[in-house]
Structures are given as structure tokens and as C-alpha cells.
Structure 1
Amino acid sequence: MAAETQSSIGKLHHELRAAGDGLVGNAEVLRGVLAGCGDCIKILDLEGRLQFMSEGGKRVMEVDDFAPLKGCPWPDFWAGQGNSDAKSAVETALAGGTGRFKGAANTAKGNPRYWDVQVSPIVGDDGRPTHLLSISRDITEEWQAQAALNDAAERQAFLTQELEHRIKNTLTTVGAIANQTMRGDEHAVVRHAFMARLIALGHAHDILTKTSWSGAPIAQVIEGALRPHATEVERIKTTGPSAELTPKQALGLALAVHELATNALKYGALSNSTGTIDISWSNDQSGFRFTWAEHGGPRVIEPPPERMSFGSRLIERMLANDFDGNVTTTYMPAGFKCELAAPAITPHV
């Protein structure tokens, strides 16, 4: 330890000589460093009692007269957990290590500050500690900024949960109204279709809630929309890179995938026991592409334009609008295909 210390001092002297004449052994250099440094530099004895405080330290700690503080147990300047951390840091330094912690402590004038502290040994010629060096850096502004961010995050989480609770209540109310409005067997098909769309919308809302409505992973959105058709999931293949959809895009795609799956169950590839569906997407500089391709289902016959269903209109118009792109549906005999071409999806803040 002594050899290492001598080596460090020799290196310091070498660098000071290289910087200019008269710097080695110059007390004014040391005084200038201690006065100009914004950290609170202190020397403690081996009992952890305060022996010295730099001029810069007195300034940041708002100490006008150091005399009453000299000899005071340094850990006692900290309260609660900070006191335990300070004692632990002293013990670590006495053992030859460097103790570090962060905590709150008031200045001599009672103003609250938050500090990043380290305590290390000052060794003598025999390699044993003779004193302890404590350096405290004022990080109050950083701490306050982080605390404000934490408070904002907690508030955002609370508001998001409250919003989701109200949305769920609203969806439940809408569902109840729909059931009452469309009572009777003659409305059973319409009622079922409406409730299924409402459930798909609810799944998308659940995904968005987990991210505080900042966005939703496309794979999770598609998986949630297909969940009501879980018995057929082994016949549906999905491939594509990770991408974060905006809330608007997530809701639009969830409803569109639900409609596509519902139509496939009624008329397309999932209406028999052999059909399959490939869902794929890509996202690069050339743009975002989403494809729904059915194979092996009944022979496809294109419906007349005047018979286009609400679900088809939702797919072609709402999906295109939500992605600011174009949707193309192709009724090929071998299988129905739906393709979306839109601008690339970029990460959003």
C-alpha cells in the first residue's frame, strides 16, 4: 500500500512538473484546488470525527465558522438511513476500501441538500490509514429532477388506471345497452357480432394500458385480436419484425384482424378443416406492409360491391385511415388476401 501511494504521488509530481515550473510542493496550488472545488472535501480522524473542511466545502455546506463543527462525529450529520450509511462508509474506509452512499443532509443553515458521498482512507508510510477523506457532491438538482419524474410517472400510472377503469365500465355499459336494444332471436346474429367487436376492442385497450397508452407491440395486438378464435390458432401463422403501433393504429388493426378472422370462420379458410392463414408484416425505409393471406379454403367468389358488409368497410376504410395508407382486398379463387401499404412505423416518444 505504501509503495502504491508513493507511486501515485510520484506520478502526480511528474504531471505537475510537466504542467509548469513551481507547481510541485506549492501550497497555493492545493489551496486553490480546495477553494475552487464545488465538492465538500473533509478530513476525518479514525473515529470518524470531523477535523478539516475545504473552503469550497464550507461554501457549499453554508458554514460560516468551522470551529464549532471540528471534532463532531461526522455520521451524526446524517439522520435515519443516512446515519447508518455514513457509519458503514467509515468502516469500509478503515478497512482500506472506499465507502459510497447517497443521502439527504441539511447545510449548517438548515437548508436541505442531497449528496453523493464517498469515504476513502488516507494512508501513512506504513500503509495503514491515518485519516479518512470524505468527499460529498451536491446532487440536489439531479435528485429533485428524478423525484419529479418519479412523481409524474406515478401520477401518469394512476391516471392511466383510472382511465382504463372508466373505459371498461363504458364498454360494459355499451354492451348492456346493445343486449337490451337487440333482444330477441331475430337479432342474435347482429348482437353476437357487435359483442365480439366490443371484446376485440377491449383486448386492444388492455394492451395499451400496460404501456400507459404510449403504444402497443404489433405482435401482441394481433395475438389479442385472434384470442377469441384460439381453437383455430394452430392454422394461423404470424411472422414479422417487432414494431410499436400508436394507440390509433393498435385499435384499428385489432378490429381489422378480428373482422378478417370472423370472415374466415364464416366463409374463408377457417370455415373448413384444411384451410390456413398467413399473417405477415414488414417495416423498413420503404414503408410498412401488412398481409393477410388465406389458403385452402372454399373457392372464393368476389361479392358484389353493393353487398359489402360493415366488416369489409371497416377493414378497407378504417384500417387505411388509421395507418394513413392504402388497403387492397383480392378475392382470388385460391384464397382471399388483404394487404395494407402505409408509411414506415417509426419509434414514437
Structure 2
Amino acid sequence: MSGLIGALPLSIPTLARVLDRSPDCVKFLDLEGRLVWMNSNGLCAMEIDDFDTVAGKEWSELWPAAGAGQVSAALSQSVEDGISTFSGFCPTAKGTKRWWDVAVHPAADENGQTVGYLSISRDVTERENRIAAMEAVVAEMRHRLRNGYTLVCGLIRGLSRGNAELSAFSDEVQRRITAIADAQSVFVSGKSQSGLATLVSILIEPFRGQIGVHLDLEVDPDIVIDARVSDAIALVVGEFVVNSAKHGAIGKGGHIAVSGKSADGALTILWRETAVEAVSATAREGGQGLNIITQMLRANNAGLDLRWDTFGPVATITFQAGFAQDTADAARQN
């Protein structure tokens, strides 16, 4: 026992009274994972009127069948690692939908022998509802944006119909617009992962072959990323593409090199741009692009190192999570 806590006159009932005041759902489980005790706020959060109705039941029985295995695994993992955490959906006893962040700790006696488990569940339903609402808005924005791309392509086709010279130009413009639309809808089908190389290629390809522009892509094809990281990368790279089209190599000619690799537990994406003209300004009054990029990366615990050389920006984006190596199935699907 560390510190001076051994000097405190703590008994099991005293400890139970302290934990009873916790705003979280606190439970003690025996070695079989059966409920021994639950604090008052936990009973309230789970809408259990009388603890006797669940006393002695396996904790996993309170969860939907889809989450029961995760609950059982958390008990054994807590013994191995000292703690186990997971997030999941579990409705209350009266059917109210709730989402929880859960931590499980092994409870040991004075000899270090595990005698049960302490489970602490925090109600994160409000957070999950906000995320769900945000995802619905994003999905709607993507849908409307793609419809906008389709409308523009239709207008271009109509204006060029019957004119051979304009038709060739129209086809090229439509190809680029369609490629940009594809980048915006990588995850519309509900896929949880995508190949990094595929995403970067989709974002850059509309500008390959443009006169005076040289593009180099060197992205590890075995890296897969989850949807949130993909959204962040699409936003960041998309912003660099737009700025380059307005002021840099894509608009005025030059060279752009984009690389992506994972090493030492981090995913690093490098954007290096060299335009034919020197950079005249690195920021503009009222510009929101960099602020949005910074916020998006911060939300993903990612970092951005941006510096400006004479002929363009050099940006390094670093992610610590949300990617994997050698998950071939997800990469092949893209």
C-alpha cells in the first residue's frame, strides 16, 4: 500500500460510501464477473430501481449480446495489463439508449491476489449524440456537394455539345471535377478504412498532366487509415491543392512532391511545393484555411509543421493514431 493511505481508518463500508458519491456508475464484481455492489448514481444512470434485481448477475448480462464478449474480455485484460478500457452501447434497464466509456481495474487483497474487479462507467451519451449529429450533417454536406459537382458537369457538357474543340476541353474538366468528387466521397459507402495512397492519389490526380506542373507521389501502399484521419488528410491536402491552384505550382507551374510513410509509431505526410515564381505572401487577412486545418488536426491529436521556402510551402503532418500497416484487405478494397 503506497503513501499514507494505510494510516486512514478506511473500512469497506466507508469506501463504499465514498464511491457512492461518484457521478459515474461504479460497480464491484466478484471473480466470476458477477455484480456485488453498485453505487447510487450508477443505479440511477442504469435506471435500476432495486439493486437486488441484478445482484449476483453476470455484468455481461446487462449488456446487449453484441457487447457481452467485449465486457468479458475486459475482465481478463485488466488482470494482465492492470486496467482495461473500452467504449460501447448499453441501454438502461428501462430501455433508454446510453453510451459508456468504461474502465475495469482488478481488485487485489493485501497479498496481491485478485479477488474481484472494480468497474467505472461514464455516461457519454451526450457526446455520442453530438458526434452522430455532426456525422449526419457532414454526410448531408457531402451529398449536396457531390450533387453540385454533377450539376456543374452537366452544364459543361451542355455548353460544349456540338463543338469538337470545346468537347475535348469539356471532357478534361469533367474528369477533374469527377476526381475531386470521388475524393469527397471515399467514405460515403460506410467503409471504416481506406488506403492512404488511394486517397492522396484521388486528391492529386485531377492536376496530373496539367501543362507546367510536375507531381511526384511516394506514399506507402500498405498504409490504411480510418475515416476520421482520412477526413483530416482530405481537408489538409485539399487546402494545399486549392492554395497551389490559386497562388502556387498548380496555377503558375512548378513541382509538388507528396510522400506518406509510417515509422516509430507515427504516420507522416510531407507536402513539398516549388513554384516557378517566388512566394509573395504566406497569409491573407481573413483567411480561414489554416485555422480550420489546425482545428481538424488538433481534434485528431495530429501535428502540423509548416514552413515557407522561397518558392512554396513545406508541410509535415504527423498522426499518432488512426492508421495501420499491412491490413491488405482494406487497402485492396480501394
Q: TM-score, with normalisation over the residues of structure 1?
A: 0.54
Distance 1:203 1:252 in 2: 23
Mind listing any 5+ residue stretches in structure 1 that lack a counterpart?
A: 1-5, 18-22, 180-190, 214-219, 259-277, 288-341
Aligned to 1:279: 276
Please tell me whether residue 137 in structure 1 is matched to residue 101 in structure 2: no
1:130 maps to amino acid: V
**How far apart are residue 57 of structure 1 and its match?**
1.4
Please tell me whether residue 209 in structure 1 is matched to residue 181 in structure 2: yes
Aligned to 1:274: none
Aligned to 2:239: 244
Distance verdict in 2 for CA 1:77–1:347, change over 3 Å: same
Distance verdict in 2 for CA 1:204–1:280, change over 3 Å: farther
Distance 1:53 1:251 in 2: 61
What SS is found at the alignment partner of 1:58? Answer: helix
What SS is found at the alignment partner of 1:112? Answer: coil
Aligned to 1:13: 5
Indicate if the aligned counterparts of 1:120 and 1:134 stay in contact, CA closer than 8 A: yes
Distance verdict in 2 for CA 1:254–1:66, change over 3 Å: same
Distance 1:228 1:58 in 2: 65
Map Cα deviations across residues 155-192 of structure 1 (whole Å, 9 max, x no partner).
Answer: 3333333332333233223222x42xxxxxxxxxxx52
Distance 1:237 1:94 in 2: 55
What SS is found at the alignment partner of 1:43? Answer: strand
Distance verdict in 2 for CA 1:70–1:226, change over 3 Å: closer
Distance 2:287 2:54 in 1: 64
What SS is found at the alignment partner of 2:94? Answer: coil
Aligned to 1:83: 68
Aligned to 2:209: 227
1:38 maps to amino acid: P
**How far apart are residue 76 of structure 1 and its match?**
0.8
Distance 2:75 2:64 in 1: 15
TM superposition outliers: structure 1 runs of 4+ over 6 Å: 26-29, 220-223, 245-249, 251-258, 342-345
Distance 1:79 1:166 in 2: 45
Please tell me whether residue 172 in structure 1 is matched to residue 157 in structure 2: yes
**How far apart are residue 210 of structure 1 and its match?**
5.2
Please tell me whether residue 42 in structure 1 is matched to residue 27 in structure 2: yes
Distance 1:126 1:222 in 2: 61
Distance 2:249 2:80 in 1: 61
Please tell me whether residue 347 in structure 1 is matched to residue 286 in structure 2: no
Distance 1:28 1:37 in 2: 15
Please tell me whether residue 67 in structure 1 is matched to residue 62 in structure 2: no
**How far apart are residue 70 of structure 1 and its match?**
0.5
Distance 1:101 1:26 in 2: 30
Q: TM-score, with normalisation over the residues of structure 2?
A: 0.56
Aligned to 1:116: 101
Indicate if the aligned counterparts of 2:252 and 2:277 stay in contact, CA closer than 8 A: no
**How far apart are residue 280 of structure 1 and its match?**
2.6
Give me the identity figure in percent. 25
Aligned to 2:77: 92
Indicate if the aligned counterparts of 1:96 and 1:120 stay in contact, CA closer than 8 A: no
What SS is found at the alignment partner of 1:244? Answer: helix
**How far apart are residue 47 of structure 1 and its match?**
0.7
| Aligned Cα root-mean-square deviation (Å) | 4.2
Aligned to 2:132: 147
Larger radius of gyration: 1
Please tell me whether residue 198 in structure 1 is matched to residue 195 in structure 2: no
Distance 1:157 1:169 in 2: 18
Distance 1:198 1:74 in 2: 63
Indicate if the aligned counterparts of 1:107 and 1:113 stay in contact, CA closer than 8 A: yes
Please tell me whether residue 127 in structure 1 is matched to residue 90 in structure 2: no
Distance verdict in 2 for CA 1:224–1:27, change over 3 Å: closer
Distance 1:221 1:103 in 2: 34
Indicate if the aligned counterparts of 2:252 and 2:276 stay in contact, CA closer than 8 A: no
**How far apart are residue 62 of structure 1 and its match?**
2.1
The aligned length equals 234
Distance 1:196 1:252 in 2: 26
Map Cα deviations across residues 284-322 of structure 1 (whole Å, 9 max, x no partner).
Answer: 3576xxxxxxxxxxxxxxxxxxxxxxxxxxxxxxxxxxx
Indicate if the aligned counterparts of 1:104 and 1:113 stay in contact, CA closer than 8 A: yes
2:174 maps to amino acid: G
Mind listing any 5+ residue stretches in structure 2 that lack a counterpart?
A: 186-201, 216-236, 254-274, 293-334
Indicate if the aligned counterparts of 2:46 and 2:92 stay in contact, CA closer than 8 A: yes
